[in-house]
Amino acid sequence: MLGAITALAVLGYGVVVSGWSLAYAWHLGRGTFAAASPRDVAAFLDGLLAAPWRMLAWQTLFLAAAVAVSASGVRRGAGALAWVLLPSIMALFWLLIDFALDHGDLPAAQAFLFSTQPLDFRDDTLLVAFGQALFTLGIGLAVGLSYGSYAPERVPLGRSVLAVAIFDSAAALAAGIAIFPVVFANNIAPDMGPGLLFVSLPYAFGNLQEGDAYGMLFFFLVALAALGTAVALLEPAVATLCQRLLLRRWQGALAVGVTVWLLALAVAFSLPPESPFAGLLPLLEQVTTAWLIPLGALAAATFVGWCMDPELLRRELYRESDRFFRLWLLLLRFVAPLGLLVVWFRLAAPGS
């Protein structure tokens, strides 16, 4: 239940941002950012945030696609989507990296991405890295719990989890190689978060030859990746409703979709500067990332590591070696809870 609630809260603002990605893909395709100045791009974002009905159209389109996939079931919906998404994302990454290598400032990007400095290992930097790992891997959001319940009996769970972590890291690295050469080619200081995604990158793509087309592909890639995430985040709540209330799959998906749509509606109407609900998006982000996700991960690690029978765990991980199993259990019982407590207290501290 905690994971399902957390996932819905994340979707409440994630759907809004995903709608922005669709809007930017559309406008880059139309040449809106061709030869635009940074002020023009920032003004476009301000105008989008001040027009909640425009945002609502894009985020509704995105959420409708995610709900349709979820309503189709895990095999026919999420499974089929994965077969389409993975090759599409890899193909788009290849095109974008090729464009970045041809038109970007590769030496500057290489120095930024692959150089090691003492500030990279400060406690606040490590805190950001731990928080990103918790979020991007769905830890504390019950995504692994939900999809794991559908896994065939003979799937090697340990190696599957390692494969997910490796693929996730590789995708993040590929995104960096696709993004930062383009950013440095326009003499833009590297940023993070919405400033990088919705101001620096549209300006950078808009001021490079053929950049509009590749910028459109980039934001379409962002929307595709977000669609896979949204389907995964819908699953804990949909599965819980179907099991507890004996609903049909499409009924559970529709009920969860309506709930997320209403929450995203509130978020969209909180973004204009004059809105009486201003601050809802950062509040949701703070509550989920600083409290709910670490709490859910800590609860899962504590329950599995200390409450479940080790013999039962060993039977589930029967394809892994004894050394692997002992190391995993040691990490789960001692290292993971300690690390999660540190992350939790630091993220929840005032001013963090």
**Domains in the chain: boundaries:** 2-278
pLDDT score, position 119: 74
- 138 backbone φψ class: left, alpha, beta (φ>0; ψ -120 to 50): left
pLDDT score, position 278: 86
Q: Hey, how many other C-beta atoms are within 10 angstroms of the C-beta on 294?
A: 26
pLDDT score, position 160: 87
Tokens of 297: 């991960």
Q: For the segment 276-307, what is each residue's pLDDT rounded down to a tens digit?
A: 888 999 999 999 988 999 999 999 999 999 99
Helix, strand, or coil here: 141? coil
pLDDT score, position 133: 85
* Residue ranges for the chain with pLDDT beneath 50: none
pLDDT score, position 79: 87
pLDDT score, position 121: 80
On whether the CB atoms of residues 215 and 206 are closer than 8 A, the answer is yes
pLDDT score, position 285: 92
pLDDT score, position 61: 98
Nearest alpha-carbon partner for 285 in 67, 6, 4: 6
pLDDT score, position 181: 94
pLDDT score, position 351: 63
CA-to-CA distance for 16 and 263, rounded, in angstroms?
10
Q: For the segment 119-148, what is each residue's pLDDT rounded down to a tens digit?
A: 778 877 878 888 888 888 888 899 888 888
pLDDT score, position 352: 62
pLDDT score, position 235: 95
